[in-house]
């Protein structure tokens, strides 16, 4: 049985696409009862974001893979926000929730009477987490926010890509995902704070805030030096050699972070003299002479088969690795051993289960992950309406 540290916590998710649902899924993995409220007849936008689509037992589709990547462990209820009955149901559910997660535009819930000020006035213990592109205030607050534009606006695209090519976004929606993670941290902190005060709070999460916050060392490099960091492709702006190198039959990664590791690289490649060369002896020297050093190392790594040089450098204690495609990732013995792929039972799916990737959290040797597949639209409406924990009258 997976640990459920949040068992008994009720979360009402009025969110769609990625950042909000990512937080809701993580809370479900941790044991919370997460009820996802979706628009009747439409559902979460990502149900249509395919192909690929999950195939149902009847041959039809059960929503895009994207949707199933971020809604594990939840119950779905379909609601018409435009009518009084739907609004009353959401109010009732919020009255029995510990946490509400929503990602409507700023002020978007006011017209339904379902905004945080209205609902928290009667339920001061409620923890309300709003997720928007730009936050609840400021000149950009009314604007819609999407991950791609936030990666550009928030600076990360100026740091990624080949220096001779165009700026490049990350291959996953990092602004959304990080915002979902930070939202979860904030919610957990608010739950802890409420234990002492008895009062909830309004959490204001913005994609742009998060993207700027996770610029990490690159932001500090700029703030300390006053100089814009330059794109360095697959190299590292602060450490060398820390990049992709060629082999006879492909490419691989060397991620050397110390002077002794650099010396080991030189020994394996038969270039021991480089470790004593004053141009390369220390990391700061190697950064100043990055390009010429990379050329010297690459000329030698290109003479080895990839798996051979990986084995030699690994044996010497150097951090190295292949550049895997996803079929390689899920066939990797460490990934298999850690059980990162999971298959959740679902009778409506062809094959009887929904594949997925488990939460990376492990407590006392047990993965912390919900064992319930992502729900079909409105599948749990009757159960949620009748659930006494959510204000219903079962039986």
The number of domains in the chain is 2
How far is Cα 79 from Cα 41, in angstroms, rounded to an integer? 9
For the domain that residue 162 is a member of, what is the CATH number? 3.40.50.10540
Distance of CA 291 to the CA centre of its chain: 33
The set of catalytic residues is 176
pLDDT exceeds cutoff 80 at 110: yes
pLDDT reported for residue 234: 87
Q: Once rounded to an integer, what is the mean pLDDT over residues 355-370?
A: 95
Tell me what percent of the residues of the chain surpass a pLDDT of 90.
Answer: 89
162 and 55 share one domain: yes
Q: Would you say residue 318 lies in a domain?
A: yes
pLDDT reported for residue 3: 86
Could you please report the per-residue DSSP string of 7-54? TT-EEEEE--SSHHHHHHHHHHHTT-EEEEEEETTT--GGGGS-SSEE
Q: Would you say residue 260 lies in a domain?
A: yes
pLDDT reported for residue 395: 59
pLDDT reported for residue 393: 85
Give the domain extent around 255.
242-324
pLDDT reported for residue 348: 87
167 and 29 share one domain: yes
Specify the pairing of strand 320-322 against strand 341-345.
Answer: unpaired
**Hey, is 104 helix, strand or coil?**
coil
Q: Would you say residue 237 lies in a domain?
A: no
Q: Would you say residue 151 lies in a domain?
A: yes
Preceding peptide of 235 cis, ω within 30°: no
User: Tokens in use for 389?
Assistant: 């924990």
User: Tokens in use for 74?
Assistant: 């939840």
pTM summary value: 0.93
Binned at pLDDT 50, 70 and 90, residue 214 comes out as: very high
Specify the pairing of strand 10-14 against strand 33-39.
Answer: parallel
Secondary-structure breakdown of the chain: helix, strand, coil percentages, each rounded to the nearest 5: 40, 20, 45
21 and 105 share one domain: yes
180 and 305 share one domain: no
How far is Cα 4 from Cα 9, in angstroms, rounded to an integer? 10
Q: Would you say residue 235 lies in a domain?
A: no
68 and 36 share one domain: yes
**Hey, is 357 helix, strand or coil?**
strand
User: Tokens in use for 273?
Assistant: 């003299």
pLDDT reported for residue 233: 86
Q: Would you say residue 299 lies in a domain?
A: yes
320 and 347 share one domain: no
How far is Cα 234 from Cα 243, in angstroms, rounded to an integer? 5
Q: Once rounded to an integer, what is the mean pLDDT over residues 275-286?
A: 94
190 and 296 share one domain: no
């Amino acid at each position: 049985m997976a640990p459920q540290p949040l068992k008994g916590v009720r979360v009402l998710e009025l969110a769609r696409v990625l950042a909000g649902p990512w937080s809701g899924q993580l809370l479900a993995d941790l044991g919370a009862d997460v009820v996802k409220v979706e628009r009747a007849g439409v559902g979460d936008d990502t149900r249509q974001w395919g192909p690929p689509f999950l195939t149902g037992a009847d041959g039809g589709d059960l929503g895009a893979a994207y949707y199933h990547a971020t809604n594990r462990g939840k119950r779905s209820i379909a609601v018409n926000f435009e009518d009084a009955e739907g609004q009353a149901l959401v109010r009732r559910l919020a009255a029995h929730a510990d946490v509400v997660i929503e990602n409507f535009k700023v002020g978007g819930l006011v017209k339904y009477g379902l905004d945080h000020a209205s609902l928290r006035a009667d339920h001061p213990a409620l923890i309300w987490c709003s997720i928007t592109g730009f936050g609840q205030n400021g000149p950009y607050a009314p604007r819609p926010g999407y991950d791609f534009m936030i990666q550009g606006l928030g600076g990360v695209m100026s740091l990624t890509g080949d220096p001779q090519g165009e700026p490049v976004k990350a291959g996953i929606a990092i602004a959304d995902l990080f915002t979902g993670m930070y939202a979860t941290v904030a919610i957990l902190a608010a739950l802890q704070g409420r234990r002492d005060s008895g009062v909830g709070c309004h959490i204001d999460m913005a994609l742009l805030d998060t993207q700027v916050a996770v610029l990490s060392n690159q932001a500090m490099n700029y703030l300390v030096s006053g100089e814009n960091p330059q794109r360095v492709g697959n190299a590292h702006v602060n450490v060398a050699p820390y990049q992709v190198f060629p082999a006879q039959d492909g490419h691989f990664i060397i991620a050397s972070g110390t002077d002794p590791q650099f010396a080991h690289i030189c020994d394996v490649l038969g270039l021991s003299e480089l470790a004593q060369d004053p141009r390369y002896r220390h990391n700061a020297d190697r950064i100043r002479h990055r390009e010429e050093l990379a050329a010297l190392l690459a000329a030698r790594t290109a003479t080895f088969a990839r798996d051979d040089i990986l084995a030699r450098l690994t044996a010497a204690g150097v951090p190295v690795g292949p550049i895997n495609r996803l079929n390689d990732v899920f066939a990797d013995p460490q990934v298999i051993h850690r059980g990162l792929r999971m298959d959740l039972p679902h009778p409506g799916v062809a094959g009887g289960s929904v594949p997925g990737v488990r939460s990376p959290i492990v407590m006392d040797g047990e993965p912390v992950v919900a064992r319930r597949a992502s729900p079909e639209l409105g599948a749990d409406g009757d159960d949620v309406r009748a659930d006494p924990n959510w204000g219903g009258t079962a039986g």
